[in-house]
Amino acid sequence: MTLPERPPQWLLWAPLAAALVHICEEFVWPGGFMSWYRRYRGPSSSSITPRFLVIVNVVLLAVCVNAAVATDTPFGVAYWIGVTAILASNGVWHLWAAVRGRGYSPGVVTGVLLYVPLAIYGSVHFLESGSVSTGSAVVALLVGGSYPLWSVLFHGRGRRVA
C-alpha cells in the first residue's frame, strides 16, 4: 500500500491565512463587527464582549495552526477538513446575515470568497489523493459545518433587530 502524497504546504496553511484576513475584515478594515452584531442580534448579543472575541479568535488561529501541522494521518486530515468546514459555515452565516439584515456583515467578503472555496477545494483534494476516507470527510464536514448551531446554543436565540 502506498501512502498518499503529502499535500502542498500552501494548502495546509491556507486556513490560517484565510482566518487572519477574515479577522482583519471583521475588526480592522472595514471592521465594526461587534457593533454590527449587536445591532443584528439585539438582546441576545450580550455574550459578545471584546474579551470573548479575542479569546475566540486566538483559539481559532491556534486551531488553524494545529490543522496545518496535523495532516500526517487520516485523522489529522479529517481535522483539517473539519476546521475548514467551521470556517466555511461561518462564511455562509455571514452571507445569510447580510441578506437577512439587508446590509454588509463584517466578514462576509472573506467568508464567501476565501472560506467556502477553501473548504471545497481542500476536501476534494484530500479525498482524491486518498488521504482521508469518504466517511471521515463527511463526518468532519458535518461536525465542522454545525458550527452555527453551536453558536446559537451558546449565545441564545434572541430576537434579531433590523
Length of the chain: 162
Each domain of the chain, given as residue ranges in start order, spans 9-155
CA distance readout (Å), 139 to 46, 51, 85: 32, 31, 10
62 vs 42, more confident: 62
**C-alpha cell at position 6:** 503529502
How many CB atoms neighbour CB 131 within 10 A? 24
> Which of 102, 58, 66 has the alpha carbon at shortest distance from 82?
66
pTM: 0.89
For the segment 149-159, the average pLDDT, to the nearest whole number, is 63
Any idea what DSSP says for residue 115? Answer: I
**What is the spatial distance between Cα 61 and Cα 144, in angstroms, rounded to a whole number?**
15
For the segment 36-41, the average pLDDT, to the nearest whole number, is 91
The model's pLDDT over 133-143, given as tens digits with 9 standing for 90+, comes to: 999 999 999 99
**What is the spatial distance between Cα 34 and Cα 146, in angstroms, rounded to a whole number?**
22
4 band by pLDDT with thresholds 50, 70 and 90 = low
